[in-house]
Amino acid sequence: MEKQGVAVVFPGQGSQRPGMGKDFYDNILESRHIYHEASDALGWDVAAMCFGGDERLNLTEYAQPCILTTEIAMLRGLHSLYGFSPAFFGGHSLGEYTALVAADVLSLPETLPIVQVRGNLMQEAMPVGVGGMSAIISDDIDAGMIRDTLKDLPVDVANINSADQVVISGVLSAMHKAEKLLKDVIKNQILRFVPLNVSAPFHSRFMDSIREAFEDALRALMKMLTPGGAKRVTSNFTGGFHSNNPDEIVNNLVLQLSNTVKWRDNMYALSSRADEIYEIGPTRPLRSFFKTIDVTCSPITTLSAAKRVFERNL
C-alpha cells in the first residue's frame, strides 16, 4: 500500500505531569482557547489543574480529561504555527479518545465529560490497593504464552505494547504469584517486572462491572458522532483502523475498557499508511515502542521541542 501522509499518536494515562502544556497556553491563542473550552465543559479550571502542581492531577478522574485537553491544545497549537494536519491518528488507551477528537469524529466539549465518567468508573471498579498492573520487559515476549500461563490466576494481559513489553493487570495479591509462575515457565528468557503507578487494574476482566454504565454514557455521545474520519483512527480493541459505523466505534471503545490494548498492531497499521509519525503529549512513552519495529516516531512534548522538529528543515 502506498503511504499517504503523516500520522500522530497520543499517549494515555501516566503521561501527565505538572505544568504540561503551559508553554502552549502562554504563547498560542488557539491552545489557550482549548483549555478555556475544556473548563467550560467540565465546570472546573483545567488549566489550573494542569499547571498548578495540584496532587489531584494523578487521580484518574482528573488525569484523563487533563491529558486529553493538553494533547488537543498542543495539536491545535501546532496547526496554528506550522499548518500541521495529520492524515492518520492513533492513541494508547485514553489516547484513543484524543485521536478521535483530533480526527473530528468526536468534539472536545462532548468528549471531556465522557472521559471524566470513564475515569471515575475505572477507579470505582475495584477498591484502591486491591488491583494493580505490571510491565513485563524482555526480548521477543510471547503474549499468548503469558495469557495461557496465567489463565488460572486473576490476572490478564492488558497491553501488548511491543515485542519487548507486555503489561499484565489484575488482583495485586496475585501479581507476585504471576511473576514466579512466568519465570518458572519461561526459563530461556530474562523477564523484568516493573510495577506501574496506577490505582486500578485497567484493561482487565475487573473492568467488566462498569461496562454497562459506560456504554450508557457513550450511547448518548453516539448521536453526536461524525464518523467519516474514523477510518483514519486506529482502534486499541481491534488493532486495526476503526470503521465509520457509529455502533462499531462505540462498541470498540466499550470493549477497550476490559480487553487487551493491541498497541503493537496499531503501530504496524499506522506505519503501513504513514510516511512520518509524531508523538504529541506531555511525555513520550510511545516513541520507544515504535523503535522496536524500526519506525521513527518524533516526539513533541514542549513548544521548544516542536520548534526543533518543524524548523530543522527550514
- Any catalytic annotation for residue 80? no
- Yes or no: say if 10 and 90 are a contact pair by the CB < 8 Å rule: yes
Active-site annotation holder among 31, 203, 258, 298:
203
- Any catalytic annotation for residue 258? no
Give residue for cell 461524525: 226
Backbone conformation region of residue 185, classed left if phi is above 0, alpha if psi is from -120 to 50, else beta: alpha
β-sheet bridge partners, residue 297: 277
At 24, give phi and psi (nearest 5°). Answer: -70, -45
Strand intervals (E) in the chain: 6-10, 88-91, 131-137, 155-162, 165-171, 192-195, 276-280, 297-300
- Yes or no: say if 292 and 163 are a contact pair by the CB < 8 Å rule: yes
User: Which ranges in 135-285 belong to alpha helices (H)?
Assistant: 143-149, 172-185, 211-222, 246-256, 263-273
The count of other CB atoms within 10 Å of the CB of residue 223 is 8
Q: Give the C-alpha separation, 108 to 11, whole Å.
A: 17
The count of other CB atoms within 10 Å of the CB of residue 267 is 26
CA dihedral 217, 218, 220, 222 (to 10 degrees): 180
- Yes or no: say if 164 and 140 are a contact pair by the CB < 8 Å rule: yes
Tell me which amino acid residue 115 is: V
- Yes or no: say if 214 and 268 are a contact pair by the CB < 8 Å rule: no
- Yes or no: say if 224 and 107 are a contact pair by the CB < 8 Å rule: yes
Active-site annotation holder among 15, 31, 93, 298:
93
Q: Give the C-alpha separation, 229 to 243, whole Å.
A: 9
How is the beta sheet containing 88-91 ordered, strand by strand? Answer: 88-91, 6-10, 276-280, 297-300
Active site residues: 93, 203
